[in-house]
Amino acid sequence: MSFPFEIQDVEPELNKQLLQDFTGERTNFLQVGPKKYFLPSKYREQGPEIFNFKVRPDDVWIATYPRSGTTLMQEMLWLLANDLDYKTGNEIPLVARAHFIEFGILVHDDLLAEILKLVEGDPERTKIAREFAANRVPVLDEMPSPRVIKTHLPFSLLPPNLLQTAKVVYVARNPKDMIVSFFHHNRLLRTQGYNKDFARYWDYFEKDLLPWTPFWEHIKEAWELREEKNLLFLFYEDLVDDLPGCIKKVSDFLGKKMTADDVHRLANHLHIDNFRKNPSTNLDAENLPGLRVQGEQDFIRKGKNGSWKEELFTSELIARADKWISENMSQIPDFAFPTP
């Protein structure tokens, strides 16, 4: 199927500024389709492959805007799809068990070259670096079923037959908590390489100039599909407040029978204190030289609701954010984030 969306380069002067502030991208940023989804340059090559990806009936997908409980749900779904096989889960990193389908667009060739230079003479790390940067579509094509697949792309950029073929869990998170987490994530990993302050980062967010924005269109696309039988729409806030209840809801959605002991063990496994210490889920396997910025916060952070109140937001920015959130949320019928 031909790719139906126009892919445009961001305007040159704006792109120049973005490249200075986000040093992971080295060429140019893109805006895709009528909603202008904002993505790095390698999407031009890999986006059509993802759109035409061959979905299988026993696939299970986790779709979110970034930093919305994605990794937690990714681990939950893999364990449920694989009959609670904790042994294999502990032996194989999550990123190798449940692939991030568009991750290849985030690793610019120049960044890969820098990492390869740092691991020169180390065959094992060289292999890991090349696998880290690889296009995930061919990798997923070769994977045995059942596959658990992660994406941050909106539904409009995913295979058109996805919800007619496979099950998808979408998780939404309130934007103030999400953006604090995404800010730290973008400062930690050189694939993004953000090097300015939070106020400027929020400005980019409002202007739909962060990867996978526009945020509200992303949410809206999923919310409008929430009645589809193969889509389960959840809120991160509910995952934090009632993890056992959400495990039961997800297991029912997947048609997996769980005993009370099964639910208790999985909830304990996914508890933030254990999750943070688990090398399979905390990206220890991807700790390549030159990938992380020293002194920044870890990949797995606080994992709680309302933590935005403890950092980064000034009173002026809170007022601005609340106005922006209220205006946009009112444009999505019957939609609201859970309140404490």
The Cα–Cα gap between 260 and 90 comes to 22
Is CATH 3.40.50.300 what the domain over 53-329 is classified as, yes or no? yes
* Spans of all domains in the chain: 53-329
How large is the C-alpha radius of gyration of the chain? 19
Share of the chain above pLDDT 90, in %: 82
| Through-space distance between the first and last CA atoms of the chain, rounded to whole angstroms | 45
Share of the chain above pLDDT 70, in %: 92
pLDDT of residue 304: 55
pLDDT of residue 104: 96
pLDDT of residue 291: 80
pLDDT of residue 225: 98
Residue 252, pLDDT > 60, answer yes
The Cα–Cα gap between 272 and 55 comes to 31
- Residue 134's region, left for phi above 0, alpha for psi from -120 to 50, else beta, is beta
pLDDT of residue 286: 53
pLDDT in tens, 181-225: 999 999 989 999 999 999 999 999 999 999 999 999 999 999 999
pLDDT of residue 299: 45
Instruction: Give mean pLDDT, residues 59-80.
Output: 96
Residue 89, pLDDT > 60, answer yes
pLDDT of residue 272: 83
pLDDT of residue 339: 81
Give CA angle at 112 (16, 12), nearest 5°. Answer: 15
pLDDT of residue 296: 44
Residue 303, pLDDT > 60, answer no
The Cα–Cα gap between 99 and 225 comes to 24
The answer to which of 19-28, 63-72, 291-300 has the lowest mean pLDDT is: 291-300
Q: Which residue has the tokens 């809170």?
A: 318
pLDDT in tens, 138-189: 999 999 999 999 999 999 999 999 999 999 999 999 999 999 999 999 998 9
The Cα–Cα gap between 35 and 288 comes to 35
Distance of CA 251 to the CA centre of its chain: 21
CA distances from 72 to 272, 283, 297 (A): 9, 13, 18
CB 20 within 8 A of CB 33: no
pLDDT of residue 233: 98
Residue 323, pLDDT > 90, answer yes
**What tokens were used for 85?**
């096989």
Whole-structure pTM value: 0.93
- Residue 225's region, left for phi above 0, alpha for psi from -120 to 50, else beta, is alpha
Residue 149 belongs to what H/E stretch? strand 148-151
Instruction: Give mean pLDDT, residues 230-258.
Output: 97
pLDDT of residue 302: 53
pLDDT in tens, 4-43: 999 999 999 999 999 999 999 999 999 999 999 999 999 9
Q: Tell which wins on pLDDT, 5 or 301.
A: 5
Residue 284, pLDDT > 90, answer no
Dihedral through CA 69, CA 25, CA 199, CA 238, nearest 10? -10
